[in-house]
A and B are shown apart, each in its own frame.
Chain A
């Protein structure tokens, strides 16, 4: 039981990390800080605009795979893998 509880706490910590990044790239860089970031440019893209229309999506993909990989490790560590 204690094992399952610490598994769950580590999972919550991972989710918190991922959702913080999720929030920062989309709502942060793409919306709230867009004007400040638009001063910086990468090629023809203003950086804030790039995050809103490209960068946030790439980050989302990366986040899900990273989370899946971390969870697979966690499943092994706490021996709660599916049989």
Chain B
């Protein structure tokens, strides 16, 4: 066994051992432990747990890769996935914590006094969370297949087994403490290679500053200027100004991700675990600090990865790398099929340019950039092993949080709340675990079939949450007269129109060739791409709800009093006291 493989096994299995041990010691004993960790998590702990819960395979593995190839256009992910916390901290979290229930649909049921609203909320939640989980499974599959050198399919099976053990056993309590450990693993795994690379390229160990510094080669040229020059020479668009589908599309995309972030139930649920309203506000702040540690490093990782990749292939102008002399990481990633070379002009050298007719790097999967980055920069093997463990921590912690959101909404909201109110606590806990197991199997299956499904899913999950859950919650808090029927109509039309737009583009359930209403040009609605459409869906949701509420009249008096009550922090109890 070579050194890299040994280190990888130690890092991956060592970290797994820690997670299992934590899950065992903090295992859930009651439904309150299982859903909200007994309501006794401190804001800093909760902030870290939210950080790990939030930062998924998409943040850890995909985002810097996207930025590397999109340049300035990648900013939508940076702003979108952080700006949502401002909305959460001010518009949702404190009031929902004050109301003090276990789940998001339960809040919607109380506020909109309607079982229909609760069922619709559960449906929206399951659709959004399940699409998101599939993306995580893909991340786990990629990471396992590369570092343990197993098939992608097997990588997913291993991932399913690991999540099952600690999520089903630990519940929210186990998951929270495991996520704190996972946050530490993933943040070290992300920043250590970034510090090394920043130091190599610019001499500045802080990546956030390194990105704005001059190159260490003594030329005095700024890194970003050099990168702009190099990519435009190859025919790509300028790195620092490359726009993603126009300003309006970037605007809508950012807005979708922001309100989607604030509407994702697995994140909102975390605010039910803190002891007070004050702690809920502070949690959002700490969460964003821990998230920002990774998110402000990501642009540096992206830009430097692009820079190093080009420099490896084209060490100096006109002197392209001989294919036979390609480095080891190049060969390793070729094996996974995520990196492909095709010698089009037969000269044995690698051509890497924007023009697809001449370009010989026929496939450079964006998802490999973060994982391959340390190897491209010739960093020591233990750093590469650490990145593997970090990627898995990110994917697994998010998958666990999502599974909890799904299982609580089914066992607590549908079974106990709607169909079988006399369910005992012990049976509910059991039901929660059974639902979690089924969700893992469904998510694993959808991670494999249909093959194109996983790729399109993560951004879609945000669009769905943005267009359904966020508007209903916000109106429930800020408009005390909003009626139940209006909220239901709003949610259904918001998520409905978003799904229509996406499926019309990409096929029903992403199966190519099944797109109905064919013949429309892509992004026909004001050039807005399907992934950015959640913002439009949310506007539709708000508009429909306001129009319908004019017809139905205001919510009953006791509901309005309830809203007035959760707007002020006084007399807040623990979630499990209700």
> Residues of B with Cβ closer than 8 Å to A?
67, 72, 74-75, 78-79, 82-83, 85-86, 89-91, 94, 208-209, 211-214, 222-225, 240-241, 247, 250-251, 254-255, 276-278, 281-282, 284-285, 288-289, 292, 295-296, 299, 564, 567-572
Instruction: Give the complex CA separation of A75 and B276 in angstroms.
Output: 13
Known: A7-B568, A38-B241, A80-B568. A57 touches B284 (CB 8 A): no
Determine the residue in chain B with the shortest Cβ distance to A23: B83
* Most chain A CB within a 10 A radius of its CB, from B79, B82, B277, B292: B79
Contact with B along A18-39 (1 / 0, CB 8 A): 1100100011001110110010
B571 close to A83 (CB less than 8 A): yes
A46 in complex: contacting residue of B83, B213, B240, B255, CB < 8 Å: B240
Note all chain A residues with C-beta closer than 8 A to B288: 60-61, 64
**B572 to chain A: which residues have CB within 8 Å?**
82
Instruction: Encode contact with B along A58-83: 1 for CB under 8 Å, 0 otherwise.
Output: 10110111011001100100111111
Cross-chain contact of B277 among A35, A56, A82 (Cβ < 8 A): A82
Q: How far is the CA of A57 from the CA of B318 in the complex (A)?
A: 40
> Once the chains bind, are A64 and B85 in contact (CB under 8 Å)?
yes
CB distance from A69 to the nearest CB of B (A): 9
Q: Which of A7, A46, A49, A75 has the most CB of B within 10 A?
A: A49
Instruction: Decide if A44 touches B292 in the complex (CB within 8 Å).
Output: no
Contact with B along A34-57 (1 / 0, CB 8 A): 110010001111100110111011
Q: Ordered nearest first, which 8 A-B pairs have the shortest CB separation?
A: A44-B222, A52-B75, A43-B212, A64-B285, A53-B299, A68-B281, A45-B212, A44-B212
A26 to chain B, nearest CB (A): 5
Q: A8-B567, A83-B570, A83-B571 are in contact. Are A60 and B78 (CB under 8 A)?
A: no
Distance in angstroms between the alpha carbons of A60 and B289 in the assembled complex: 9
B211:A27 contact, CB within 8 angstroms: no
For the complex formed, measure the closest distance between the CB of B72 and the CB atoms of chain A, giving whole angstroms.
6
Taking a contact as CB atoms under 8 Å apart, the answer to whether A44 and B211 are in contact is yes
- What is the CA–CA distance of A2 and B288 in the complex, to the nearest angstrom? 34
Q: How far is the CA of A61 from the CA of B294 in the complex (A)?
A: 13
Alpha-carbon gap, A32 to B567, bound state (A): 34
> Once the chains bind, are A64 and B89 in contact (CB under 8 Å)?
yes
> Contact: B213 with A26, CB < 8 Å?
no
Question: Closest CB of chain A to B466's CB: distance in Å?
Answer: 15
Closest B residue to A72 using CB positions: B278
Secondary structure at the A interface, as helix, strand, loop or mixed, is helix
- Greatest chain A CB density within 10 A among B94, B212, B250 is at B212
Number of A-B contacts (CB under 8 A): 137
Residue from the set A44, A49, A56 with the largest chain B CB neighbour count within 10 Å: A44
| A82 in contact with B79 (CB, 8 Å) | no
In the assembled complex, 7 residue pairs joining A and B whose CB atoms fall closer than 8 Å, in A order, are A8-B567, A43-B212, A45-B212, A60-B82, A61-B289, A63-B86, A81-B569
Q: Is the CB of A57 within 8 A of B296?
A: yes
B296 touching A50 by the CB < 8 A rule? Answer: no
- The minimal Cβ–Cβ distance linking B536 to chain A, given in whole angstroms, is 16
B-chain residues with CB within 8 Å of residue A8 when the two chains form the complex = 567-568
A44 and B224 contact, CB distance less than 8 A: yes
Q: With both chains docked as a complex, state the minimum distance between the C-beta of B123 and any C-beta of chain A, in angstroms.
A: 30
Contact B86 A60 (CB under 8 A): yes
Whether B72 and A52, one on each chain, are in contact in the complex, defined by CB atoms closer than 8 angstroms, is yes
Q: Which residues of A contact B86 (CB under 8 A)?
A: 18-19, 22, 60, 63-64
Question: Closest CB-CB distance, A27 to chain B, in whole Å?
Answer: 6
Residue of A with least CB distance to B72: A49
Partner among A38, A57, A82 whose Cβ is within 8 Å of the Cβ of B276:
A82
B247 touches A53 (CB 8 A): no
Q: Give A56 to B361 CA distance when docked, in angstroms.
A: 35
The minimal Cβ–Cβ distance linking A77 to chain B, given in whole angstroms, is 12
Q: Which of B78, B225, B289 contacts A52 (CB 8 A)?
A: B78
Nearest A-chain residue to B275, judged by Cβ: A82
Closest to A21 in B: B86
What residues of B have a CB within 8 angstroms of the CB of A34 in the complex?
A: 72, 241
Determine whether the beta carbon of B278 is less than 8 Å from that of A60: no
Report which of A54, A64, A68 forms a contact with B208, defined as CB distance below 8 A: A54
Nearest-neighbour CB distance to chain B for A35, whole angstroms, equals: 8
Q: Which of B86, B211, B289 has the most CB of A within 10 A?
A: B86
**Interchain CA distance A68-B264 in the complex, whole Å:** 22
Q: Name the contact of A58 in the complex, choosing from B89, B284, B296, B564 (C-beta under 8 A).
A: B296
How far in angstroms is the closest Cβ of chain A from B46?
14
Q: Are B89 and A67 in contact (CB under 8 A)?
A: yes
A42 neighbours in B (Cβ, 8 Å): 212
Which of chain B's residues has its CB closest to A18's CB?
B90
